[in-house]
Amino acid sequence: MADRHRRVHIGGDGPPEPPRSTYRLQLTADFTFAAAGELAGYLADLGVSHVYLSPILQAAPGSRHGYDVVDHSRVSTDLGGEDGFRAMVARFRAHGLGVVVDIVPNHMGIPTPESANRQLWSVLAEGQASEYASWFDIDWAAQDGRFLLPVLDGPAPDGITVDGQLLRYYEHVLPLRAGTEHLPLPELLDAQHYRLADWRVARTELNWRRFFDVTSLIGIRVEDQAVFDATHEVLFRLVDEGLIDGLRVDHPDGLADPRQYLDRVAQATDDMWVIVEKILEGDEPLPADWRCAGTTGYDALNLVDGLFVDPAAAGPPGEFAAVAAVAKREVTQRMFAAEVSRLARLLGGDTADLHLVLTELLAAFGGRMPVAEHLAGQPGHPAHADGGEEDSLQHAPPGVGLRRIVQDRQRAAGVDADLVPDDGIRRDTERAAQPGGAESEVGPEQRLPP
């Protein structure tokens, strides 16, 4: 964890700053703001300085975690609403406790019924003409101007009914495009701004950004100033009133520009105490120019966990690296085939060669290597144009120069670069690039040698 700290912005007779210790409370409809407030004395007696709350904005109906926010304009009514939040904070303050709140800038929930998310509902009803179309990362061209909605459990139109201006499919309730409600069902489905599809095709055909491979969480473009303002207005108002003393930022790795995001948060909150759920690998440092107090502590917990592991049980040093290399490739090909396809389209074409190159790059470099830099042949990578045209990624045939870099990187990391032969990689990549491609089985060419 980073050792730098920001001053906590606290209103009234707040607790010491920065937080000495936090106690996390998972809020649900069964454990509301009122129930949390009743623990104030107990938490104070424990020596806690701040109560750390799960997300407090309106989440999807029945949410048990709160990270599937569907309405940023209000504090969750399921938890007690803003009045309940204020009453809870007052009880915490009476015992000298501060409040840290979890915020979720990367994504929103896709609820059932879908109307609970009014921004998404607008996009489903109006398509690219919706005033909220820019909120989401949607590759409209990939689905011929439609939003892929992989919710079916079988071929359409089984189970689909029309109810006035609505389309119903079990718990799903969707808007109909104006003027299409009287069409025969097959034509009606084709006329919508969304395309209903079997849930299984999400892996290969999805045309919008999500949280990892979770298709009930849709990514939002918080890098857009208007989206940032709309999704943070309530939280920043509560900060300004002194009701929130710190923020925990969920999943900054999903953001287009985490540095810019943290700068905006710092500017809006007068550099209040902020920590980030940044996943660091090995000795990877937290970027020094991120305006935050540090990470949530996964890196520290990893060190602590090591105290409970007997070194005698560890395998050879290179064994894990080999397993990790195969696992990264498998995850990239199978769980994120749709995302790889989108990267390929951005680079000029959704071809098997580009799938191969991107899969190998992502598997070899993980999340720490800027892929675009390598694809563009920018200064700083080992095959920059300064080494001659034949060594430049800008001029190498698809898959040739990059495969060499990948193999060099694998060897440098102590991984057998021939563990998965090129022809095996190509076969798997071509399958993954096709709709309904490779499923979860591991082919012979991907299994580790005995």
Is 331 in the same domain as 411? yes
Q: Which of 180, 215, 250 is the last residue of a domain?
A: 215
Residue 447 confidence class, pLDDT cut points 50, 70, 90: very low
Does the residue 384 lie in any domain? yes
Q: Which of 215, 244, 277 is the last residue of a domain?
A: 215
Is 79 in the same domain as 227? yes
- CA–CA dist 295, 286 (Å, integer): 8
Whether residue 295 contacts residue 278, with contact meaning beta carbons closer than 8 Å, is answered with yes
Residue 310 confidence class, pLDDT cut points 50, 70, 90: confident
Is 286 in the same domain as 350? no
**pTM passes above 0.85:** no
pLDDT at 366: 54
Other beta carbons within 10 Å of 346: 13
CATH classification of the domain holding 162: 3.30.1590.10
Residue 327 amino acid letter: A
Does the residue 4 lie in any domain? no
pLDDT cut 70: percent of the chain above it: 77
Does the residue 249 lie in any domain? yes
Residue 325 amino acid letter: A
Does the residue 411 lie in any domain? yes
Helix (H) or strand (E) holding 188: helix 185-190
Domain residues for the domain of 51 are 22-106+222-305
Does the residue 264 lie in any domain? yes
CATH classification of the domain holding 277: 3.20.20.80
Residue 154 confidence class, pLDDT cut points 50, 70, 90: confident
Angle ∠(335,111,67) on CA atoms, nearest 5 = 70
Question: Exposed/middle/buried for 371, CB within 10 Å: 0-12, 13-18, 19+?
Answer: middle
Is 162 in the same domain as 79? no
pLDDT at 356: 87
Report the domain count for the chain: 3
Q: Which tokens belong to 236? A: 């920043």
Listed in order, strand segments (DSSP E) in 44-201 are 50-53, 57-59, 69-75, 98-103, 107-109, 147-152, 160-163, 166-169, 172-175, 194-198
pLDDT in tens, 180-202: 999 999 999 999 999 999 999 99
Is 26 in the same domain as 134? no
Higher local confidence (pLDDT), 211 or 309: 211
Is 101 in the same domain as 226? yes
pLDDT at 292: 97
Q: Which of 260, 282, 305 is the last residue of a domain?
A: 305
Is 421 in the same domain as 343? yes
pLDDT in tens, 66-116: 999 999 999 999 999 999 999 999 999 999 999 999 999 999 999 999 999
Three state DSSP letters for 390-437:
HHCCCCCCCCHHHHHHHHHHHHHCCCCCCCCCHHHHHHHHHHHHCCCC
Backbone φ and ψ of 259, nearest 5°:
-60, -50
CA atoms within 13 A on the CB side of 214: 15
Is 184 in the same domain as 75? no
Is 336 in the same domain as 421? yes
Does the residue 11 lie in any domain? no
Once rounded to an integer, what is the mean pLDDT over residues 271-282?
A: 92
Burial 157-188 (b: 16+ CB within 10 A, else e): beebebeeeebebeebbbbbbeebeeeeeeeb
Q: How far is CA 27 from CA 51, 66, 212, in A?
A: 12, 8, 23
Question: To which residue do tokens 């915490």 refer?
Answer: 92
pLDDT at 411: 56
Does the residue 12 lie in any domain? no
Instruction: Assign 132 to helix, strand or coil.
Output: coil
Is 353 in the same domain as 419? yes
Once rounded to an integer, what is the mean pLDDT over residues 162-176?
A: 97
Is 161 in the same domain as 194? yes
Q: DSSP characters for 198-243? A: EGGGHHHH--B-EETTEEEEEEB-TTSHHHHHHHHHHHHHHHHTTS
pLDDT in tens, 19-59: 999 999 999 999 999 999 999 999 999 999 999 999 999 99
Question: To which residue do tokens 């409809």 refer?
Answer: 29
pLDDT at 167 over 90: yes
Q: Which tokens belong to 258? A: 């985490």
Does the residue 3 lie in any domain? no
Higher local confidence (pLDDT), 245 or 4: 245
Residue 364 confidence class, pLDDT cut points 50, 70, 90: confident
Instruction: Assign 177 to helix, strand or coil.
Output: coil
Once rounded to an integer, what is the mean pLDDT over residues 366-389?
A: 39
Is 295 in the same domain as 324? no
